[in-house]
Amino acid sequence: MDNPLLQGGNIPVDYPSITREHILEAVEHVILAHEQGIARIIEHQQARPTWDDLVLAVDELDAQLWAVCYAVYTLMGKKGWDKAIFDCHGKVSARNVQRFGDSRLQPLYARLASSVDGVSLDASKRATLRWHLDMFVTAGAALAATDKARLVELEAQIAAACRSFADNITWPGLLITSEAELDGLPQTLRDQLAARADKAGVQGWMIGHDKAIIEAVLQHAHDRSLRKDLYHEIHTIGVSEDVAQDNATHLLRLVELRDERARLLGLANHSELTLLEKSAGSVIQVRVFLQCLAEAVAPAMLQWRSHLEQQAAAQGMGAVRPWDVSYLNSKPQARLPSEGFSQHFPLSAVVAALSDLAQHLFALDLRLTQLPTWHGSVQAFEVWQDHALVGYFYLDAVQHEGKYGASVATDPLRTRRINAEGIFQPAVVVVYSDIPAALAGAEPLLDHLSLRKLYHEFGLALYQLLVRTPTHFMSMVTPLGTDGIALIGRLFERWVWSAPYLTSIAAAQADGSELSKAQAETFLSQFKQQGIETIGLDLSMALFDLDLHSAPRDGTSLARRLAEARELCGYWPLEDFERPAHAFDRWVKGDDAGFYAYLWADVHAFDLFTRFEAHGLLDRETGRALQETLFEPGASQPLRDGIEAFLGRLPSHAAYARWYGLT
């Protein structure tokens, strides 16, 4: 076919020639091929399911299905195409659900896994079968007809409960009408608030539902009453005197529905169900991890609170309240303007640094090449290792017309694998980031947050270029779960938290001045100063989240669960009006019973990075060990085993604790 989206996997997609009609045609083609292909496989594999003719045959159909979907994502935001692209994603996702919910397909995988042939497969292939069987469980493939019908009802009710909760967490913002209340706010922040008010058609300064803006106001505003009003506003979102409209009602309903779904699928609770798709282990293992972390955090948290109380007393403020914390935590100190930092990190220098990192650690050669792309700012690279082409890497780093929102993600257009015919499929990976475009004639500059985002996503791209597993799905980063995915990304963020590394990749400014190690250390100190409070808040919510989804019917109230979680890690007690769980959108964005993942990832990323600190941040032998123990096996081995193999010991909290002063 001449459709650019339906060419062979070894042919780069000709993006400029894609039309909206190509999208519609391609998605219908691959969905029909998927349905018909699986029907044929089921028919022909009844007598004796085999690895090649069952697993790899289905895998090839899966790969073609998702290749179209991910290729289309690159065009997200193109005017007039959004509906076609969203429809494509919806249809492919629905087909994926049908595939794992197929009660004819699931027994074939089960029979292969338990057969003599299946038991004799290598560890990677056996792990692939186990992963598929877990996915069949979560989709309800083995349920009786009546239970399947109930599962469909539950999914619809869960979706409705999520919408009800999400619809309740909108906030119109807080309007400031007196300029005196702005005392302490930097001019750039005042300008942002004024622009928001102007856009809303009102006079004054408007604080909107933007976490970064809210935190900046709480940090800088000298007016304590303004800080209190703002804190009250944002911590009563989702609260209603009408019990039926209160988000506690929606949350409890949602948790109970999820619990029923888990029990219907044969699991003890929703936490157990979600952990099937993650890397951290069992509910008990995650609970022990969080409790051990809380024991380490609580003393430091209490000491930090005491220090803030002393600061407040010295300023005649009286008792510290939650709306004072960010203000007091922002100690008066000599600050370097963030613009001064970003001047040292033009995009070209950062891309060169990423390429250099890949070369030193993994002997990957990223060769800039002329491939058709979806926008002129997108860079395309061939990726070589040991004189062999292993894949293609596209970098869509800068915001541009036709780009969908503030996109920061890594997508595998194609996965690295060898199909049933023995043909090697190179990986094709896209990294999106949201670096602001520069003025005409200038180059985009990266602040520290932009650096962290780009290194995070680049780490995930490297993983998908280096993984060596036998199937499409297992060669994606997705089977690692949100905790495993976050671990890979957070590990690569550690490089840009190293002052020596930053100085080694920083470009000189126009006047010739270079970034010194002392300046880099000052910048990094400023960037991480809120760390201990963030840990306390995130840890308390992670404890609450796991407890709520593990035992939703034990009679404990939301307020009691949250108070106990905060007490366990030494975090500030709740104000009478404070209802943070009412507006915690993670419940409806895929982190339900999984908010622990980001803490788990951070702790293990810090630990993994200690080996690079010991042997060199660009050490080839350490990079090779990372590739062999964590990247190449991918999800075909428990990630915990890979971590231990890389470290040569059990994981530890020590590096994380040292960084945040918890020891």
Would you place residue 98 in the very low, low, confident or very high pLDDT band (cuts 50, 70, 90)? very high
Q: Assess if residue 561 is contained within a domain.
A: yes
Identify whether residues 63 and 105 lie together within a single domain: yes
pLDDT above 90: percentage of residues in the chain? 79
Q: Are residues 471 and 538 in the same domain?
A: no
pLDDT at 518: 92
Q: What is the DSSP letter of 554?
A: S
223 with 315, same domain: the answer is no
Instruction: Give which of 585, 588, 583 is closest to 237, Cα–Cα.
Output: 583
Is 404 domain-assigned? yes
Q: Is 522 inside any structural domain? A: no
Enumerate the β-bridge partners of residue 174. Answer: 207
539-549, pLDDT tens digit by residue? 999 999 999 99
Q: Residue 110 maps to which CATH number? A: 1.20.1050.40
Asked if the structure places residue 62 within a domain, the reply is yes
Q: Are the C-beta atoms of 222 and 184 separated by less than 8 Å?
A: yes
Query: In this structure, is residue 168 part of a structural domain?
Result: no
Shared-domain flag, residues 91 and 133: yes
In this structure, of 154-158, 326-330, 575-579, the range with the lowest mean pLDDT score is: 326-330
Question: Which residue's entry shows tokens 């990094």?
Answer: 524
Residue 347 lies inside a defined structural domain of this protein: yes
Instruction: CATH number of the domain at 412, please.
Output: 3.40.390.10
When pLDDT is cut at 50, 70 and 90, the band that residue 420 belongs to is confident
Which residues form the domain of 348? 340-489
pLDDT at position 422 is 84
CATH number for the domain that contains residue 283: 1.10.1370.10
Confirm whether 475 is domain-assigned: yes
What SS3 class is residue 285? helix
Residue partners of 120: CB distance under 8 A and separation at least 6: none
Residue at a domain's end among 433, 466, 489: 489
pLDDT band at 1 (very low <50, low <70, confident <90, very high): low
Q: Indicate whether 136 and 200 sit together in one domain.
A: no
Closest Cα to residue 45, out of 108, 89, 90? Answer: 108
For residues 88 and 134, state if they share a domain. yes
| 284 torsion bin: left (phi>0), alpha (psi -120 to 50), beta (else) | alpha
pLDDT, position 334: 42
Say yes or no: 325 and 344 in one domain: no
Q: Does one domain contain both 473 and 586?
A: no
Better pLDDT: 393 or 336 = 393
Beta-carbon-side half-sphere exposure of residue 587 (alpha carbons within 13 Å): 34
Clarify whether residues 83 and 195 are in a common domain: no
Amino acid at 634: G
pLDDT digits (tens, 9 = 90+) for 193-251: 999 999 999 999 999 888 889 988 998 999 999 999 999 999 999 999 999 999 999 99
474 shares a domain with 350: yes
- Confidence band (pLDDT; 50, 70, 90) for 294? very high
Counting the structural domains of the chain, the total is 4
Write the DSSP string, 28-67.
Answer: HHHHHHHHHHHHHHHHHTSS---IIIIIIHHHHHHHHHHH
CA angle at 429 for the pair 96 and 361, rounded to the nearest 5°: 130
Q: For residues 245 and 235, what is the distance between their CA atoms, to the nearest angstrom? A: 16
For the segment 470-477, the average pLDDT, to the nearest whole number, is: 90
Within a domain: 547? yes
Domain boundary among 545, 574, 594: 594
d(CA 273, CA 149): 19
Residue 333 is predicted with a pLDDT of 47
Q: Which residue has the higher pLDDT, 616 or 587?
A: 616
Task: Examine the domain organization and report whether 113 and 185 are in the same domain.
Answer: no
Helix (H, G, I), strand (E, B) or coil at 332: coil
Boundary residue ending a domain (594, 621, 643): 594
Do 137 and 38 lie in one domain? The reply is yes
pLDDT of res. 491: 98
Q: Which residue has the tokens 């600190």?
A: 613
